Structure 1
Amino acid sequence: MGARSTAAERRTVAELVQERWGDHRPGLWFEERTLTHHEVAAGAAARAALLTDLLPSRAQPHVGVLLDNTPEFPLWLGAAALAGAAVAGINPTRRGPELARDILHTECRVLVTERTHLPLLDGLELPGVRVLVTDTQAYEDLLAPYADARPEPGPGRATPRSRFLLYFTSGSTGAPKAAICSQGRLAAAGRSLVGHFGVRADDVHYICMPMFHGNAVIADWAPALAAGAGVALRRRFSASGFLPDVRAYGATYFTYVGRAVQYILQTPPRADDRDNPLRTGFGTEAGAVDAAAFEERFGVRLVEGYGSSEGGAAIQWSPGTPKGVTGRAAPGDDLAVIDPETGAECPAALFGADGLLLNGHEAIGELVNRGPNPFEGYWRNPAADAARGRGGWYWTGDLFYRDADGYLYFAGRTDDRLRVDSENLAAAVIENILARYEGADAVAVYAVPDPVAGDQVMAAVAGTFDPPAFEAFLRAQPDLGTKMAPRFVRVLDRMPVTATNKIHRAGLRREGFRCADPVWWRPTGEPESAGYRLLSGADVEALVARYRARGREELLLR
């Protein structure tokens, strides 16, 4: 499954960094600090020269970056590009052996970090790894001899095929895998987004999503670099700091993932919310309701896009795309919605007069790219490569359905599919319904095993929960199927999320109904009129005994 070869992909990120040399416009803002484009290119050149000297001979040219969104992060991205090296974004929310595993798995012989993250490394066995701590005098002294370095191409340096990013999947399910992104692919992605959104050199891209993840680098930093636009950094995402930052930096574009938009909407509204310079927000999974509320409040259109983290499939939004629709396939992609059990293409979605999906049980399948695509594999993980590319197709791991006009609708992740009483359900479809509940700030739906066979529906609701009101709400929803009503409802103050602000479904699923939060449930066999009642310790013991009697107790730990 090789990458496409286009004129854009024959460019490198290193060339884009070199083009900023001599550009003395402001190019990077962080808190009280401002760097020109020239200073950014010069800083990248100095770090590239240092990295070249630090890497042992015959070592993989990989540098781990364990940083918040500080100027050092884009400087080391530029340095790696110039040196023909790859950056492995290390997730600071990982701990202990898992954190060490990420660093060692990607074979980083140099690790760049800052003092605030040093405690994470205490007690870790990292043989052969040189640690650089950016906010120290020792680091400044180490860089000083390279101050006059220039971002000039050298023999054997960057090519379009050079590995540039080793970025981990979010870790919401299973051990994170390090996806490979080459310089050519990232440069092409940046230039494509420049054209799609009309990015100009006088734009300012606000990066508030973590740069150790592909979203911030590929969809925010790369198009800014390709267009010569400025970049404003936020150390860590802050809902309350979002609008003040946008105004202070004159930001015109930002990216988002997961629940970030929802958190911003939960900040107290102000009469001057629409007084801001933003033109566009680009991301995924904001949801049609939140996207409309964001545009109404801030006057900013959110463009929902879809691109698998590994680059194997993309769906493009375009003017005229109906609300609630992700978009159509990108040019050249042969996308299909496939039943993963039969390998056959799913039938088109059918909708009622009110727009409700009528045949979700047969129309929802896994999105597959059957044509050439730029997936470049995972670092040293042939099993994961084979699973993604089985049968010569690229399997995204995401659920969609497609209407008769070719529009694609996101329906969740394949690991978020539930099977209740032999009926297949998509968690995202149920979530969209439960999100209408007045007391819900956030909703997550996931499977817990049934004591006998298949799954039961469990929902986590962050916000306020009134059982009688919730029951009345469920009865009033015309598109809530007979198998969709949650058997269990976990009530939380705040929804747990991964480091990339996606709901941490793996943790919710693993805890199931045996959690510290209040859980309301409707026992199997009781009429719906009996309503929800609080799950007690005795109830849990009785439930577990049922699983044990059926030999399914171990499924509670999946």
Structure 2
Amino acid sequence: MMEYYQLGVSVIFAVIAVYIFTGSRWRTLYILHRTLPRDIIGAFRFLKVNLLLWYWEKRGFTVARLFTRQAEINPNKIAFIFENQNWTYGVLDKFTNRISRYFRTQPMSRGDSMALLMENRPEYIGTWLGLSKAGFVTALVNTNLRKEVLIHSITAANCKSIIFGGEFKDAIAEIKNKLPDLALYQWTEDSSISVLDGAVDLNKAITQVSDDPVEVDLSLGCPRDKLIYIYTSGTTGMPKAAVISNLRYMLVSCGVYYMLGLRKTDRIYDSLPLYHSAGGIVGAGQALCIGITVVLRRKFSVSKFWTDCIQYECTVAQYIGEICRFLLTVPPSPNDTAHKIRLMYGNGLRPQIWEAFKNRFNIEQIGEFYGATEGNSNLVNIDNTVGAVGFMPKYVGRLYPVGLLRFDDETGEPIRNKDGLCILCKPGETGIFVGKINPKKAVNDFSGYANKEESEKKIIYNVFKKGDRVFNSGDILVMDDMGYFYFKDRRGDTFRWKGENVATAEIEAVISNILSLMDSVVYGVEVPGHEGKAGMVAIYDPQSSLNLHEFAEGLKKTLPVYARPLFVRVLSELPLTGTFKLKKSDLQKDGFNIEKISDPIYLLDKSGNYVRFTEQLHRELKEEKLRL
């Protein structure tokens, strides 16, 4: 309580100082009146998170150690519910012990990486948690990846082996000859699926292994040790393996718990992919680190969302923006309000549908948050402000040093003053969101990627003062004078579609191979009534030799559905910059506006083929009558 008192006194003095030294005193007093309760509550919750992380780090806690403690205290409490199976902490702990003991017998060294490719299920979490007990780091591979991109993801984290579900047997068969030294372990529950030639039947292998507790001094490591890799598209290139340490995992989990006011008695509905930070950390982490029961689903289903929430008596549910929009498209039913959900938290809920979603489904609180998987600059909306991704009070900004930097629209580089330092945005100005890097504090640290060069690209030097460093989120936000932040756009070569980040450079490389190195550029375009940005490719084809059917078939074989460009623009002339690069920004501004563009444009239809984009289709999209 002493810490709370001191913080309260500091805030009061800050308020007085702001009042005395500010010219617009009445406006300042009004803002303080509106925001002070929010800021004090947020500061107290933030302090709790910091104190807990400090305690865990001092005591040498890791995720595995926290989970083991939960299993010891509440062995019969349900950790995960999955397809009417109840996985108690005791049952899950024994599973992780068998995984740990088995892989200790395999020819690998402590600290080695293993890839994991598996559908959502409790065994997924139990596998990487068991591997962490054995001293290994698990790379959580996106289940949509195939061929060269899958190979890249495995090698990017320097994986010595891969554990894959039987449902991905064919995907592994396609690449195993190109990775001859990769050890294969197949997890198969369906007896109709045979084990891939050269792979170990992991189900059978662990049945004879003891589930006795694993010795702590040999297995659980240190709080700042690597725990898992989670892949992110970043801003350019192929998927990058973001380093998630034990402390980072614990920070995100307990941060959500305290900042949004979760309860130990809650049941959380998590239908998001477990290879993403949203489903695998923000969701599953509540069970592992906090002790809250989490309901898992193999795959998100619009028709089953509220039915599941009702059946499993969930009180909290996760979302990404697309999920909320999908749920609103379903005809109203009694299930809309028959559930017990009081809080939904996630990211990407469009301000335009915020109130409609909240009112229709009778949701008491929306916990919208912002943050990159690998980043150190996170925000959270704790007071239901429509559209806000979080807030930051000016008078206690030093407690959590983040900011918006002015940047050059053309180069994307921050604008600097005469002293060489960056310039902070004023309220109402859009800027690049950054967070100051401080390795001494878990909330401000930046672990980066497995590739150090990629990590370096995300750092800006000499920002607030000479010698400092910040994490560059690459995202464009705006802050109002109340201290609320609002997401505006993604800077760089990444756009988000169907809840997935899409790296344009990766798609361009695939298209280049399909089209025998024809010039092309990929970018995201906004579509009325849809979350994120849809993919569009402009292809230079002066000879009119493009075969759209072959192009579509090539994309089907190499890219997941969400990464395939929905629009194709065929260029007869190349719009080049002075450095002979295609003018992506101009193409992106044009979008698919056929009233402005004379080039032919094609749309990917439901059958997977490209059809001519007509004025009628354009009108239906603008009027939100056409769903993509």
> Which residue of 462, 470, 482 corresponds with 1:405?
482
SS in 2 for 1:205: strand
SS in 2 for 1:522: coil
Equivalent residue for 1:7? 55
Equivalent residue for 1:72? 123
- Cα distance change of structure 1 residues 345 and 323 upon mapping to structure 2, 3 Å threshold: farther
Equivalent residue for 2:174? 123
Query: Structure 1 counterpart of 2:453, which letter?
Result: A
Kept in 1: contact 2:316–2:343 (CA 8 A): yes
Equivalent residue for 1:544? none
Runs of 4 or more off by more than 6 Å in structure 1?
445-451
1:488-507 CA distance string (max 9 Å, x none): xxxxxxxxxx98x9x75x84
> Whose helix fraction is larger, Structure 1's or Structure 2's?
2
Could you tell which deviates more after superposition, 142-151 or 390-399? Answer: 142-151
The separation in 1 between residues aligned to 2:118 and 2:376, in whole angstroms, is 28
Kept in 1: contact 2:437–2:446 (CA 8 A): no
Deviation at 1:159, TM superposition (A): 1.0
> Which residue of 413, 417, 423 corresponds with 1:345?
423
- Cα distance change of structure 1 residues 8 and 265 upon mapping to structure 2, 3 Å threshold: farther
Gap runs ≥5 in structure 2: 1-49, 192-200, 408-412, 417-421, 439-443, 462-468, 496-522, 541-558, 572-590, 603-628
> Which residue of 270, 283, 286 corresponds with 1:220?
283
Equivalent residue for 1:245? 308
Kept in 2: contact 1:14–1:158 (CA 8 A): no
1:370-426 CA distance string (max 9 Å, x none): 3522210100x22221111121221111001122333221111012799xxxxxxxx
1:246-261 matched pairs, under 5 angstroms: 246-261=309-324
The separation in 2 between residues aligned to 1:87 and 1:109, in whole angstroms, is 10
1:20-70 CA distance string (max 9 Å, x none): 334112222111322211101111111111122224247x42221101101
The separation in 1 between residues aligned to 2:389 and 2:427, in whole angstroms, is 14
The separation in 2 between residues aligned to 1:103 and 1:291, in whole angstroms, is 38
Equivalent residue for 2:295? 232
Kept in 1: contact 2:229–2:242 (CA 8 A): yes
Equivalent residue for 1:374? 445
SS in 2 for 1:122: helix
1:289-304 matched pairs, under 5 angstroms: 289-300=352-363, 301-304=365-368
Residue 383, structure 1, aligned to residue 453, structure 2: yes
Residue 39, structure 1, aligned to residue 91, structure 2: yes
Deviation at 1:365, TM superposition (A): 1.6
Equivalent residue for 2:582? none
- Cα distance change of structure 1 residues 371 and 120 upon mapping to structure 2, 3 Å threshold: closer
Residue 521, structure 1, aligned to residue 569, structure 2: no
Identity in percent: 22
SS in 2 for 1:404: coil
Equivalent residue for 1:492? none
1:88-99 matched pairs, under 5 angstroms: 88-99=139-150
> Which residue of 315, 336, 342 corresponds with 2:403?
336
The separation in 1 between residues aligned to 2:57 and 2:323, in whole angstroms, is 31
Kept in 2: contact 1:336–1:345 (CA 8 A): no
Query: May I ask how many residue pairs the two structures share in their alignment?
Result: 444
The separation in 2 between residues aligned to 1:449 and 1:140, in whole angstroms, is 48
The separation in 2 between residues aligned to 1:110 and 1:536, in whole angstroms, is 44
Kept in 2: contact 1:221–1:231 (CA 8 A): yes
Deviation at 1:134, TM superposition (A): 1.4
Deviation at 1:448, TM superposition (A): 7.9
Equivalent residue for 1:85? 136
RMSD across aligned C-alpha pairs, in angstroms? 3.3
Residue 20, structure 1, aligned to residue 70, structure 2: yes
1:358-507 matched pairs, under 5 angstroms: 363-372=429-438, 373-379=444-450, 381-391=451-461, 392-415=469-492, 435=528, 440=529, 444=533, 504=563, 507=565
The separation in 2 between residues aligned to 1:147 and 1:194, in whole angstroms, is 34
SS in 2 for 1:21: helix
The separation in 2 between residues aligned to 1:534 and 1:388, in whole angstroms, is 37
Query: Structure 1 counterpart of 2:400, which letter?
Result: D
- Cα distance change of structure 1 residues 401 and 199 upon mapping to structure 2, 3 Å threshold: closer
The separation in 2 between residues aligned to 1:519 and 1:311, in whole angstroms, is 33
Kept in 2: contact 1:85–1:162 (CA 8 A): no
Could you tell which deviates more after superposition, 4-13 or 234-243? Answer: 4-13
Q: TM-score, normalised by structure 1?
A: 0.72
SS in 2 for 1:415: coil
The separation in 2 between residues aligned to 1:205 and 1:61, in whole angstroms, is 32
The separation in 1 between residues aligned to 2:159 and 2:494, in whole angstroms, is 36
Deviation at 1:172, TM superposition (A): 8.1
> Which residue of 195, 212, 217 corresponds with 1:149?
212
Equivalent residue for 2:261? 198
Deviation at 1:182, TM superposition (A): 0.6
Equivalent residue for 1:167? 230
SS in 1 for 2:309: helix
Deviation at 1:144, TM superposition (A): 1.7
The separation in 2 between residues aligned to 1:202 and 1:63, in whole angstroms, is 34
Equivalent residue for 2:47? none
Equivalent residue for 1:311? 375
The separation in 2 between residues aligned to 1:105 and 1:190, in whole angstroms, is 26
Kept in 2: contact 1:44–1:151 (CA 8 A): no
Kept in 1: contact 2:120–2:274 (CA 8 A): yes
Gap runs ≥5 in structure 1: 351-362, 419-426, 452-497, 525-532, 538-558
The separation in 2 between residues aligned to 1:448 and 1:21, in whole angstroms, is 51
Query: Structure 2 counterpart of 1:383, which letter?
Result: E
Kept in 1: contact 2:405–2:425 (CA 8 A): no
SS in 2 for 1:54: coil
The separation in 2 between residues aligned to 1:331 and 1:316, in whole angstroms, is 17
1:408-454 CA distance string (max 9 Å, x none): 21111012799xxxxxxxx99x95xx74xxxx455737898899xxx
- Cα distance change of structure 1 residues 141 and 163 upon mapping to structure 2, 3 Å threshold: same
The separation in 1 between residues aligned to 2:123 and 2:398, in whole angstroms, is 36
SS in 1 for 2:338: coil
Kept in 2: contact 1:27–1:229 (CA 8 A): yes
Deviation at 1:234, TM superposition (A): 0.7
Query: Structure 2 counterpart of 1:334, which letter?
Result: P
SS in 1 for 2:70: coil
Deviation at 1:331, TM superposition (A): 7.4
- Cα distance change of structure 1 residues 40 and 156 upon mapping to structure 2, 3 Å threshold: closer
Query: Structure 2 counterpart of 1:308, which letter?
Result: A
Deviation at 1:534, TM superposition (A): 9.8
Deviation at 1:242, TM superposition (A): 1.0
Query: Structure 1 counterpart of 2:368, which letter?
Result: E
The separation in 2 between residues aligned to 1:172 and 1:115, in whole angstroms, is 32
Q: TM-score, normalised by structure 2?
A: 0.64
Query: Structure 2 counterpart of 1:384, which letter?
Result: E
The separation in 1 between residues aligned to 2:477 and 2:265, in whole angstroms, is 37
> Which residue of 179, 182, 189 corresponds with 2:242?
179
The separation in 1 between residues aligned to 2:285 and 2:601, in whole angstroms, is 52
> Which residue of 114, 123, 126 corresponds with 2:165?
114
- Cα distance change of structure 1 residues 256 and 156 upon mapping to structure 2, 3 Å threshold: same
> Which residue of 73, 79, 102 corresponds with 1:50?
102
